[in-house]
Amino acid sequence: MHRLVRSSGARKPKRRWKWMLKTIVYTGLLGLCALGISLMYLYQSDLPLADSDRNSQLLDRNGKIVAAFSDGTRNQERVPLSDISPWLIQATLAIEDRQFYKHVGFDIKGMARAALINIKEMNKVQGASTLTQQLARNLYLSHERTWSRKLKEAMYTAQLEMKYDKDKILQMYLNEIYYGHGAYGVEAASQMYFGKHAKDLSLAESAMLAGVPKGPTYYSPYNHMKNAKDRQKTILSSMVVTEQITQAQADQAYGEMLSFRSQQQRTTLSKAPYFRDYVRSVVINELGIDENMLEHGGLNIYTTLDMDAQQAAEDAVKSELNGSPDLEAALVSIDPRSGEIKALVGGANYVQSQYNHVFATTRQPGSSFKPIMYLSALASGELTSASKFSSEPTLFHYDNNRKTYSPKNFGDKYLGEIDMRQAIAASDNIYAVNTILKIGSDQVIELARKMGITSPLKAVPSLALGTSPVSPFEMASAFAVIGNQGRSVKPLAILKITDENGHILYEAAPPKSEKVVEPSAAYVLTHLMESVFETGGTGNRVSAEIKRPVAGKTGTTSSDAWLVGFTPELSTAVWVGYDKGKTLGTAESRKAAPIFAKYTEKALEKIPPKIFPIPDHVVSVYIDPSSGKLATADCPDKKLEVFVQGTEPTEYCSEHGEGEPPPEPLPVKEKAESRSWWSDLKRWWMD
Q: Give the highest mean pLDDT range of 123-127, 148-152, 342-346.
A: 342-346
Decide if pLDDT at 291 tops 90.
no
User: What pLDDT digit, counting tens, does each position of 516-549 carry?
Assistant: 999 999 999 999 999 999 988 999 989 889 999 9
Q: Which runs of E-coded beta strand occur in 28-177?
A: 56-59, 65-69, 75-76
Euclidean distance between CA atoms 317 and 322, whole angstroms: 8
Which one has a higher pLDDT value, 254 or 9?
Answer: 254
Contacts 24+ apart (CB under 8 A), 34-38: none
Question: Which comes out higher in pLDDT, residue 626 or 316?
Answer: 316
Would you call 96 a catalytic residue per the annotation? Answer: yes
- Cα–Cα dist 632/653, whole Å: 6
Q: Tell me whether residue 347 is exposed, middle or buried, using C-beta atoms within 10 angstroms of its C-beta: 0 to 12, 13 to 18, 19 or more.
A: buried
Question: Tell me: the pLDDT tens digits for 232-269?
Answer: 999 999 999 999 999 999 999 999 999 998 765 665 55
Give the model confidence (pLDDT) of 360-380 as tens digits.
Answer: 988 999 999 999 999 999 999
Q: Residue 144 has what pLDDT?
A: 52
Sort 161 into a burial class: Cβ within 10 Å, 0-12 / 13-18 / 19+: buried
Mean pLDDT confidence for 547-555: 96
Asked whether the predicted pLDDT for residue 15 surpasses 80, the reply is no
Distance from first CA to last CA of the chain, Å, rounded? 153
Residue 227 pLDDT more than 60? yes
Looking at residue 149, its pLDDT comes to 62
Query: 302: alpha, beta or left, given left = phi > 0 and alpha = psi -120 to 50?
Result: beta
Query: What is the rounded distance in angstroms from the CA atom of residue 304 to the CA atom of residue 658?
Result: 59
Alpha carbon dihedral 248, 253, 256, 259, in 10-degree steps, equals 170
Give me the sign of the Cα torsion angle 160, 161, 165, 168.
Answer: positive
Percent of the chain with pLDDT over 70: 81
pLDDT of 106 reads 66
- When pLDDT is cut at 50, 70 and 90, the band that residue 22 belongs to is low
Q: In sequence order, which residues have a C-beta less than 8 Å from that of residue 36 and are 6 or more positions away?
A: none
Helices (H) then strands (E): counts for the chain: 23, 21
Residue 301 or 271, more confident:
301
> Which position among 77, 85, 96, 320 bears the catalytic label?
96
Contact 427, 367 (CB under 8 A): yes
Average pLDDT over all residues of the chain = 85
* Integer Cα distance of 452 and 199 in angstroms: 43
Highest mean pLDDT among 1-5, 102-106, 595-599: 595-599
- Residue, of 94 and 664, whose pLDDT is higher: 94
d(CA 479, CA 565): 7
Distance, CA of 570 to CA of 342 (rounded, Å) = 8
367: annotated active-site residue: yes
Provide the pLDDT for residue 156.
77
If one counts every other C-beta atom within 10 angstroms of the C-beta of residue 343, the result is 26
CA distance 326 to 322: 10
- Torsion sign (Cα): 116, 121, 126, 129: positive
Please give the Cα distance from 459 to 442 (Å, whole number).
6
CA distance 571 to 564: 8
Pairing of strands 300-303, 56-59: parallel
- The letter for the amino acid at 186 is V
Check whether 501 has a pLDDT greater than 60. Answer: yes
- List, as one string, the DSSP characters of 445-509: HHHHHHTT--S----SGGGGGT-S-B-HHHHHHHHHHHHTTTEEE--B-EEEEE-TT--EEEEPP
Q: Is the pLDDT of residue 59 over 60?
A: yes
pLDDT value at 635 more than 50 = yes
pLDDT given for residue 157 in this prediction? 78
Residue 317 burial (CB count, 10 A): 25
DSSP conformational letter for 621? E
- Interatomic CA distance for residues 82 and 66, integer angstroms: 18
pLDDT, residue 673, reads 37
Q: How many CB atoms lie within 10 A of CB 654?
A: 13
655, 626 contact by CB (below 8 A): yes
pLDDT of residue 655: 81
Element (H or E) spanning 37, and its range? helix 12-44
Burial classification of residue 313, based on how many CB atoms lie within 10 Å of its CB (0-12 exposed, 13-18 middle, 19 or more buried): buried
pLDDT at 647: 94
pLDDT, position 34: 53
Is residue 118 very low, low, confident or very high in pLDDT (cuts 50, 70, 90)? very low
pLDDT at 182: 77
Sign of the CA dihedral running 315, 317, 319, 324 = negative
Residue in 271, 502, 318 with CA at minimum distance from that of residue 279: 271
Q: What is the dihedral of CA 78, 81, 86, 91, to 10 degrees?
A: 60
Least confidently predicted of 434-438, 453-457, 583-587, 589-593: 583-587
User: Which pLDDT band holds residue 1 (cuts at 50, 70, 90)?
Assistant: very low
Which residues on neighbouring strands pair with residue 514, listed in sequence order? Answer: 488
**Nearby residues of 337 by Cβ (< 8 Å), 6 or more positions away:** 484, 489, 511
Q: Say how far apart CA 321 and CA 64 lie, in whole Å.
A: 29
What percentage of residues in the chain have a pLDDT greater than 90? 61
Confidence check: pLDDT of 5 > 60: no
Give CA–CA dist 29/37, Å, rounded.
Answer: 12
Q: With bands split at pLDDT 50, 70 and 90, how would you rate the model's confidence at 504?
A: very high
CA distance 343 to 361: 19
For residue 629, pLDDT over 50 is answered with: yes
Options 85, 367, 387, 520, the catalytic residue: 367
Checking if the pLDDT of 467 tops 80, the result is: yes
Residues in the chain: 687
Q: Which residue, 652, 379, 370, is CA-closest to 531? A: 370
- Of 112-121, 205-214, 341-350, the poorest mean pLDDT is in 112-121
pLDDT of 426 above 50: yes
What is the tens place of the pLDDT at every residue in 472-484? 999 999 999 999 9
